[in-house]
Amino acid sequence: MKIAILGGDGFVGWPTCLHLSEQGHEIHILDNLSRRWIDTELGVQSLTPMDSIQERCRIWHEVTGRRLNFHLIDLAKEYERLKSWLAEEKPDAVIHFAEQRAAPYSMKSDRHKVYTVNNNTGATHNLLAALVETGIDAHLVHLGTMGVYGYSSVGAAIPEGYLDVDVETLSGDKASQEILYPTKPGSVYHMTKSLDQILFQFYAQNDGLRITDLHQGIVWGTHTDQTRRHEQLINRFDYDGDYGTVLNRFLIQAAIGHPLTVHGTGGQTRAFIHIQDSVRCIELALQDAPKSGERVRIFNQMTETHRVRDLAEMVAKKTGAKLSFLPNPRKEAEENDLVVKNDKFLALGLDPITLQEGLLDEVVEVAKKYAHRIDRSRVPAVSAWTRDLGARVERDPEGRALRTVS
């Protein structure tokens, strides 16, 4: 297939490009490289050294003989260019990663909230409108998040997208309905993913767009089969308090002798998936496209759930690291359960990679190799959900700052 990968320079986008290219698909990367500019804004860099997107594409061609085509387009701001590109290239499938992906970044300030909504919602709606206008029958696969559900549970498993409910009619009878499972987003970022769902529902029912929405858990791990092919193909690896995901952050902290920063009680339960499984799920979703007129197909893209403190204790036991319990900058329940159904990907043949010690070793080895690139001052999570929470944020968990004496 000819596949457009929007946001193909990103954390999940890049290994997906390589994975699908190796399978023989013609890959076109559309990206405005905003994630690289955010690194500059935050004064932080990927733990792993990243070449330019053009150099990455050149290395992939040198190693495999396959080409990746890069197009510099801002999807949220350049609607006419996006529409013209789609009309000219007519991709068979579009994979949509082109959204600001960090919940903490989306809560840093009012400016970051506005940017996240304008970028994420604008890019999604521009894409949908352009697909309708050009008449292209491309299968749209979108990377969403389990976080739209708010990490809470009512004692029942979260279904894959839809919930059967009975409502009482005016006559007192019961009428059955199937609704989108209610969302309870925990950040502005998660809110944009909830808005995406409504946009997808409308364009699927109104215009017959064929859409698959993947509600993904937290990604961990570094390498895929393809990124191991050459050192310059390595994926980005975020460790900072805004973009670093919790398990990868614990493993990096352990590798450099930093205390493992557990916020609140650590009783928050999260869904997880390994980066190799993430790209495999996208491949499986592409092969199982809905037909025009069908409802949006929704998958829960995760393989296991864990409490944050259990992950910290597992890493501490393995590495000898110490735990540091800090005030939680997020507005969320101190303890929650999370039961999730993921039957659809298992039925399509996914053989999940779970938290195995060998794979944890791999991340620690990568962290040690590039430890000289870590800025310890960027490790703490300091973006707070409210002003009150911001006043309690711990900005110096190692106690390295100079103290005033009296």
Residue 221: HSE in the Cβ half-sphere, 13 Å Cα cutoff: 24
Per annotation, catalytic residue among 79, 189, 239, 370: 189
- Among 124, 145, 192, 319, the active-site one is 145
Contact of 191 with 276, CB cutoff 8 Å: no
At 167 the three-state DSSP class reads strand
Residues across the chain:
406
Q: Is 189 a catalytic residue?
A: yes
The catalytic position among 193, 203, 261, 319 is 193
Tell me how far apart the alpha carbons of residues 61 and 199 are, in angstroms, rounded to a whole number.
37
Q: Which residues pair with 3 in a beta bridge?
A: 27, 93
Question: Going by C-beta distance under 8 Å and a sequence separation of 6 or more, which residues neighbour residue 112?
Answer: 105, 106, 188
Quick check: 256 and 376 in contact, CB under 8 A?
yes
Catalytic status, residue 151: no
Write the CA distances from 178 to 129, 166, 182, 183, 394, integer angstroms: 26, 9, 11, 15, 44
How many beta carbons lie within 10 A of that of residue 24, not counting itself?
8
Instruction: State which amino acid sits at residue 27.
Output: I
Name 120's Cβ contacts closer than 8 Å, sequence gap at least 6.
Answer: 76, 99, 100, 189, 192, 193, 195, 196
Asked whether the beta carbons of 395 and 327 are under 8 A apart, the reply is no
Active-site residues: which are they?
Answer: 145, 189, 193
